Amino acid sequence: MIDDPVLVNDWHPLASVKMLEQKPVFGSRLLGEDIVIWKDQGHYYAWQDLCIHRGAKLSLGKIKDNCLMCPYHGWYYDKDGKCIFIPTHPEQTPPAKALVKTYLVTEAYGLLWVCLGQPEKEVPPFPEWPNSQMAKAVCGPYEHLKAHGPRLIENYLDAAHFPFVHENVLGDPDKPMLGEFEVRQTSEGIASDPIRVYQPNPYGDSAGEVTYTYHAFRPLTAHFTKHMKGATNGMMLTVTPHDELDSTAWFVVATTAMKDTEALAADYEPRIRAIFEEDRAIVESQRPELLPLDLQAELHLRSDRVAIAYRKWLRELGLKFGTA
């Protein structure tokens, strides 16, 4: 396991609720650890993806009699991770040591979040989630990102790149100014607003200024609320750290402009994918790959104040992963 207590004791999304509906046993990786997530009778389980007998991956197994059955010799593990039946020796009580390491898993915002250690907080907040007037959907996963989470999150918090990386979609290179905004540290991380951006066509009819409030709620989870004429959007980016240089991005979106989850996902998924591919090209190109927390490294301008606050906060938290 990657030794970073800040991330080991935090929640990370490993799958969506939808993915488990389609396939109830699912293998992934978190902080260098193989994890199996499975669902039975409405409950979710997250375990080390390793059978204690001969080390086969349990994620290749299947659910039988409310147990997860190993694909190799068919050992049955109950919901507590205890082997309760060995088909080759049906008369024998399985050894007490035949246990799988279990982890905490919880569902929030259509995602399944896993904690490998002792969580110090709940999953990160999503301010728009309780708003019944907004449609919400998960977009992603966007996988195999060859970038560290902190670089990806800092990119998300950086509105100054819109006119150049997302030209004519999220910004106009002839109008790249952000105006004055405030940055503050809160009990839930970093907050910043009002970040005013001129966008060429944010409402689908005419160009105009939109206003963002940004949050970094956790080292690898950021969020914005975007205020437009006649509509408000909320969007969370959360990055799963599989390994040092293998990340997955998930977006959770909420909008007042739609009522239906399926329609929202169908509308937003391709748009987010296209925009995120533009970000991916930039972030994967950044060197050093580790986000420098020493503010003497790289150059910082007034428009970089959210990023400066994010780096200072990561330093205070003692985050080691993905930083230098």
Report whether 77 contacts 68 (CB < 8 A): yes
- Interface with Fe ion by CB under 5 A: which range of 24-32, 112-120, 223-231, 277-285? 277-285
Rank residues 69 and 195 by Cβ distance to ligand FES and give the closer one.
69
Residues contributing to the site for ligand FES (CB under 6 A): 51, 53-54, 56, 70, 72-73, 75
Contact between 158 and Fe ion per CB under 5 A? no
Burial group, residue 205, by CB count within 10 angstroms (0-12, 13-18, 19+): exposed
Contact between 279 and Fe ion per CB under 5 A? yes
Residue 146 binding partner per list ligand FES, Fe ion, none, with a CB distance cut-off of 5 to 8 Å that depends on partner kind: none
Residue 279 binding partner per list Fe ion, ligand FES, none, with a CB distance cut-off of 5 to 8 Å that depends on partner kind: Fe ion
Rank residues 74 and 127 by Cβ distance to ligand FES and give the closer one.
74
Residue 84 binding partner per list Fe ion, ligand FES, none, with a CB distance cut-off of 5 to 8 Å that depends on partner kind: none
Report whether 202 contacts 208 (CB < 8 A): yes
Residues shown for the chain? 324
Rank residues 15 and 237 by Cβ distance to Fe ion and give the closer one.
237
DSSP 86-152: -TTSTTSPPPTT-B--EEEEEEETTEEEEESS--SS-SPP-TTTT-TTSEEEEEEEEEEE-S-HHHH
- Interface with Fe ion by CB under 5 A: which range of 68-76, 250-258, 279-287, 296-304? 279-287
Rank residues 19 and 69 by Cβ distance to ligand FES and give the closer one.
69
Report whether 130 contacts 254 (CB < 8 A): no
CB of 93 to ligand FES, least distance (A): 16
Rank residues 6 and 63 by Cβ distance to ligand FES and give the closer one.
63
CA distance 82 to 248: 31
Residue 56 binding partner per list Fe ion, ligand FES, none, with a CB distance cut-off of 5 to 8 Å that depends on partner kind: ligand FES
3-class DSSP string for 254-321: EECCCCCHHHHHHHHHHHHHHHHHHHHHHHHHCCCCCECCCCCCCCCCHHHHHHHHHHHHHHHHCCCC
Residue 22 belongs to what H/E stretch? helix 17-22
Residue 300 binding partner per list ligand FES, Fe ion, none, with a CB distance cut-off of 5 to 8 Å that depends on partner kind: none
Contact between 4 and Fe ion per CB under 5 A? no
Rank residues 87 and 318 by Cβ distance to ligand FES and give the closer one.
87
CB of 275 to Fe ion, least distance (A): 6
